Chain A
Amino acid sequence: MPSDVEAWKDELYGTDIRAEIERFAETGWETIPDDERDAWFERFKWYGLYHQRAGQESYFMLRIGPPGGILEPGQFRVLAELAKEYSTGPVPNPEFGNGWLDVTTRQAVQLHWINLEDVPAIFDRLDEVGLSAVQACGDSWRNIVGCPVAGKDKHEHVDAHTLAHDLHDEFKENEAHSNLPRKWKVSVTGCDEGCGQGDINDLAFEPASKEIDGETVRGYNVRVGGGLARNEPRFARNIDVFATPEQAVEVAGGISALFRDYGNRENRYAARIKFLVDEWGPEKVREVLQEEYIDWELETAGEDLRSEYSYNAGDATGKHDHVGVHEQVDGAYYVGLNVLVGRIGADDALELADVADAYGSGEVRLTQRQNIVLTDVPEANLEGLLAEPQLETYSPDPHPFQRGSIACTGTEFCSLSIVETKNRQVRFSRWLVDNVELPEGVENFHIHLSGCTASCAQPQIADVSLRGMKTRKDGEPVEALDIGLGGGLGENPQFASWVTERVPVDEVPGAIKNLLANFEAEREDGQSFRAFVLERDDDELADLVEPEETSYDDPFMHNTKRTWYPYADQDALDESPAPATPDGSPLPSDD
């Protein structure tokens, strides 16, 4: 029997939702009938609106997804202005103040504390500059990710910029593909460094070459069925298909339609295409795609570039991220800036927009490591740019512990998360910078903190993977983290192995310190951390992780999920000011 969500989608979904959002915005959040809220909040996701967790009723997260993370000149400034005007909550966050934007691991921007009544004005403002929240959440084509420096990069094999935009144009607001069984995540990689992270997407286009009619043609190999969520991580499987850039949109449409028609609509937990690929195998996926959805003979896979991939790839030679100053193909430069846990204060963002305008083209690009890239900086402008005060915080040359830190939203706003994440990861990184020496030669060290098994911070592909848990300490329940080791992408991608579970959060920095000390003591000369981990089994690795209390202090040990907001002085759920009108006046609630 189809789920409630399927019934609601069958009733009304896709572009029809916008008029309903505007209707409720006009009459007020409180006019959504009590017994229709589940249905409407599920539908609103299609327009990027996600109702925040319990204790924060009437407030929404709004996600805006530019294809490939590319914000054209002027767009980043508008997002900063929207954050400043609309994205403020009842109390400030102690690390980030009030009003900020979050750069996500899927090259999108998230704004929180959005009132439904403000959404039409926000949508109009986005429309004016060519941005959109369409399909940023919900069961359809999500934001298309890819090389954030596509079109600029010296490592580009094929033009991922064009394909990402073609896919965006074709499949956003496309009725035939607007209602899929589940979310649909697509990646386009065009470079030889693998920065599109195709392996963890439902559909991945990866750079390849193929001999066709005696000529070498550049295009894409196709992989299907990757994803990290729900303790069921999968790398995308090679379905033995090569697509030219001209064929790629049609191939993508065929696979999306195959998912639409054959995906599981009865059970949302088994709905992602990774489970269909498990069931069918990549051979049958190819066979059905060919027989039912593509009317020309598909080429077999071409020669790929995976052996050269360096992005988030352990000890590989090449760029592991886009931080720093790098020359573009046209002789100008792009400058990647580190954004710790992806969060930028609204005022900082406005100043960064000024910097982008003053020294580059004004374009700002978002990366899958929650960072930003300013492009088109002439060589003569580099010195001035690097001297800007904002670059002390958003650094092109950060400490490896801060460069490698990623965190999801966490219990601050998310219903699924088990622990607080962003503020904690900021505190972790500060303590590590002050107290831990990285072993010689270790320049990239990735620590990803995800609040739960949904894996929004991509914990399984980090050197040190942290996943939200709980445990008891001194008889009291406290927030905890599972610790995994050895994950990463590259030619031979590897998921982290969860070697030590349920570590109280205040003992995690000590565990990382001890782990690195043990690594330094036991590794062979020059051995990378990832190679070191791969040589050892889980028991050996567990012995190297020695959780320990240190000078690190964690103010969020308690059950942050039972608060309306973890950082409020009066944080109990029954102290919540929500639901509220846009001016902060409380609304009646029967909760």
Chain B
Amino acid sequence: MSSGATSAGACWSCSERVGVVITGRWQNTGIRAPTPAITTLGHALGQLLRLSRSHNYRTGVCLPAILTILSVTRLDKVCSSRWMHTDLQPQSGMAISVRTLDDGAWISINDSREVGVSEVWTLPAGECCSCRLAPVLLEGFTDVSIDGQEVVAGVVGQCLECGTRGSIDRLPVGRVGEGPTTERGRNDRRFRRYAPEAVSTRPTATHARDSP
């Protein structure tokens, strides 16, 4: 039985909170799978939960994990004491996953290939080299993260004017904003990528350095 929106209660074994099984999208694996029996209080569908201990689906390995709640099944008497006092902390914000893919060829936002290498980005002086407006060919993404509303990437690139090849630790490549809540309760934040040539409307990159 899935709850409509929230669940709350007490655990059967300690008579304080209700045991539940949450089916969620596990952020570390991308797989939709249930948790073991756990306890929880009043979390809404679509929210992110952090499990300080969790059961890695299929392999039995314990890992810290974050999952998006898709459904909550309240249990009558089944409860695993192993999970009884697992601390479930709701995560602020909405579901969004960012990663680099295919040997750094792409930045993926929520499993969609959004920013690719081979584009020429215009960067102000000092971000890659001393050229005033440097046309920098992005050759590979080394990492990506979210800083507030900003998606920032580590990149390796080369200035097409002066030939300097360098790495930039934090190149802003776009912003995320509110999106619609999906049928499954997931609130997909929308990604808006910056135009590679629109240097004046983009926050500046940081920690530029030349390659050896």
Contacts and interface: CB of A to CB of B under 8 A. Distances in A.
A10 interface: yes
A3 B144 CA distance: 12
A35 B135 contact: no
B176 interface: no
A38 B111 CA distance: 5
Given A7-B28, A10-B56, A454-B103, A470 B108 contact: no
24 contacts: A4-B28, A7-B28, A11-B31, A11-B56, A12-B58, A34-B111, A37-B112, A38-B101, A38-B108, A40-B30, A42-B101, A54-B113, A54-B116, A230-B140, A415-B101, A416-B102, A416-B105, A417-B118, A418-B139, A453-B140, A469-B158, A470-B118, A477-B120, A501-B163
A471 B58 CA distance: 50
The list of the 10 closest CB pairs from A to B, nearest first, reads A39-B30, A415-B105, A11-B29, A7-B28, A561-B118, A416-B105, A418-B118, A37-B111, A36-B30, A38-B111
A384 B189 CA distance: 67
Interface string A460-496: 0000000001111000010000000000000000000
A442 B28 CA distance: 56
Interface residues of A, number: 41
Interface of B: 25, 28-32, 56-59, 61, 63, 95, 97, 99, 101-106, 108, 110-113, 116-120, 135, 137, 139-140, 142, 158, 160-161, 163, 165, 186
Contacts of A416: 102-105, 117, 140
A8 B30 contact: yes
B60 to A, nearest CB: 11
Contacts of B135: 472, 477
A470 B138 CA distance: 10
A269 B59 CA distance: 26
Nearest to A51: B102
Contacts of B95: 35
Interface string A437-473: 0000000000000001110000000000000011110
A33 interface: yes
Nearest to A416: B105
A505 to B, nearest CB: 14
Contacts of A42: 101
B110 A269 contact: no
Contact of A36 (B32, B103, B163): B32
A4 B99 contact: yes
A430 interface: no
B137 A11 contact: no
Contacts, number: 108
A415 B111 contact: no
Contacts of B97: 35, 38
B191 to A, nearest CB: 12
A453 B139 contact: yes
A477 B161 CA distance: 11
Interface in A17-45: 33-40, 42
Contacts of A268: 103
Contacts of B58: 11-12
B31 A36 contact: yes
Given A37-B111, A54-B116, A472-B135, A502 B160 contact: yes
Contacts of B103: 268, 416, 454
A175 interface: no
